Structure 1
Amino acid sequence: MHWDWAVAADVLPRLLAGLVVTVQATFVGAILAYALGLGLAVLKMSHSRLVSFTFYWLSEFIRRTPLLVQLYFLFYVLPDLGIFLSPFVAGVIGLGLHFATYTSEVFRAGIENVPKGQWEAARSLNYTTAQTWTRVILPQAIPPMIPPLANYLITMFKETPLLAAITVVELFNAANIYSNSFYKYLEPMTLVGALFLLVSIPSAYAAIWLERKYARQN
């Protein structure tokens, strides 16, 4: 077995197209995970025990089951219930729901770290609930959350090969399709690893920089 540059040149455009899908799925899934995670954090902190209990255990159920099983449910089981999703949409929803349970804990910790006096100050200014959250609590809570949220973004990027199970032609699946068609595995899979490293290593250093930056501010 030896490296064939002709095979590498042939498969590279397909891998780059797959990388674009991978990055798209990661960022759309992350936006969904952050939005749902914030909402889930607020619901789990609700003063209503029924609401907080329900969403706590819903979060635990999603977090304690494998992402792969959730992807299969969204893509293969929901059609039996009359709900049809494209592979990409099912993959993005799966990533967003799964990682929302993790980001919700980041949001919850950040919100709880805001001094209680800030809530009291907002009440003394007659702020509405929405104004309290948007003008007082979240502006103070979110900056320290940025490093861990960035780390989850990187983790989500590395989990995207699971989308191949529901036929999304992302980076790994693009290589897998080529390898199974031409029985060439060395070059495609090596390039997949290299492309993942090319994106994830700079991203990891960016996350470290963010962590140090906000550590100095605190």
Structure 2
Amino acid sequence: MDWSWEFVAEITPSLLQGLVVTVQITLLSSVVALVIGLFFAIAKMSPIFVLRQSTILVTEAIRRTPLLVQLYFLFYVLPDLGIVLSPLVAGTIGLGLHYGTYVSEVYRAGIQNVPAGQWEAARACNLTVWQTWTQIVLPQAIPPMIPPLGNYVIAMFKETPILSAITVLDLMGEALAQANFSYRYLEPITLVAFGFLTVSLCSAAIIKLLEARLNLRAA
């Protein structure tokens, strides 16, 4: 099959629309992962035994099961229980929850790297728990976390093609729709690969620049 630039021009608007959806899902899933990951990290370090152990159990269960199974559960099983989610919402929650378990380990490592003297100084100054976390711990813990967190965001972006399994018309979903309609797979799949490569490389470059700036500021 020969490459057709005419077909490329025909499908490019749909693929660009799918790329926008892919980026939107990635950003929304990233927010979900960052928020849930922070909750998981704090809960894992809680002095309350039941909360700590139950959180470990939940995160391990999520990490040890395939993302595809979790997406099918959210989109196909929950409606049987009376909870109906749109493909976009199910995909966002599924990606965010899955990667939130990995993000929680980044948070926990960063928090544990804060010197013990900082905690003691906060107690000596009679700071509340909220003040200790927001004014002392997190401002020191977050900057070193940015590179690994950025890598997880890129990983989520590259994971979005799996959402086509629950009928999300992201970049991959649009490409498959065009390919199945025209029976031409060369151009759509090649453009998808090029799109993911381009966005991933640009994102990685931005993360490196941010990391370099943080290291320069720390020095």
Q: State TM-score, norm by structure 1.
A: 0.97
- State the SS of the aligned residue for 1:76: helix
Q: Could you give the per-residue CA deviations for residues 69-101 of structure 1, whole angstroms, max 9, x where no partner exists?
A: 000000000001000000000000001100000
Q: Distance in 1 between matches of 2:207 and 2:65?
A: 27
Alignment deviations for residues 21-49 of structure 1 (CA, whole Å, 9 cap, x no partner): 00000000000000000011000000112
The runs of 5 or more residues in structure 1 that have no matched partner are: none
The aligned counterpart of 1:178 is 178
Residue of structure 2 in register with 1:83 after alignment: 83
**What's the counterpart of residue 165 of structure 2?**
165
Quote the residue 1:200 is aligned against. 200
Return 5+ residue gaps in structure 2 as ranges. none
Give the stretch that moved more between structures: 21-30 or 56-65: 56-65
Alpha-carbon distance in 2 for matches of 1:98, 1:199: 22
Aligned to 1:3, what secondary structure does the other structure show?
coil
- Secondary structure of 2:180's match? helix
> What residue in structure 2 maps to residue 57 of structure 1?
57
Once the two structures are superposed, the pairs formed by residues 13-52 of structure 1 within 5 Å of their partners are: 13-52=13-52
> What is the letter of the counterpart of residue 7 of structure 1?
F
- What aligned pairs does 1:135-154 form with structure 2 within 5 A after superposition? 135-154=135-154
Aligned residue in 1 for 2:155: 155
* 1:127 maps onto 2:127 in alignment: yes
Return the TM-score normalized by structure 2: 0.97
Note the C-alpha offset of 1:210. 3.2
1:208 Cα deviation from its structure 2 partner: 2.8
Task: Output the CA distance in 1 between the equivalents of 2:62 and 2:208.
Answer: 28
Greater alpha carbon shift after TM alignment, 208-217 vs 191-200: 208-217
Question: Structure 1 vs Structure 2: percent identity of aligned residues?
Answer: 58
Q: Aligned partners of 2:82 and 2:209: how far apart in 1?
A: 46
**Number of residues of Structure 1 aligned to a counterpart in Structure 2:** 218
Q: 3-state DSSP class of the match of 1:84?
A: coil
C-alpha distance in structure 1 between counterparts of 2:195 and 2:133, whole Å:
40
How large is the Cα RMSD of the aligned pairs? 1.1
Deviation at 1:207, TM superposition (A): 2.2
Deviations 1:97-147 (A, max 9, x none): 000000000000000000111111111111111111001100000000000
Residue 154 of structure 2 corresponds to residue 116 of structure 1: no
Q: CA deviation at 1:64?
A: 1.1
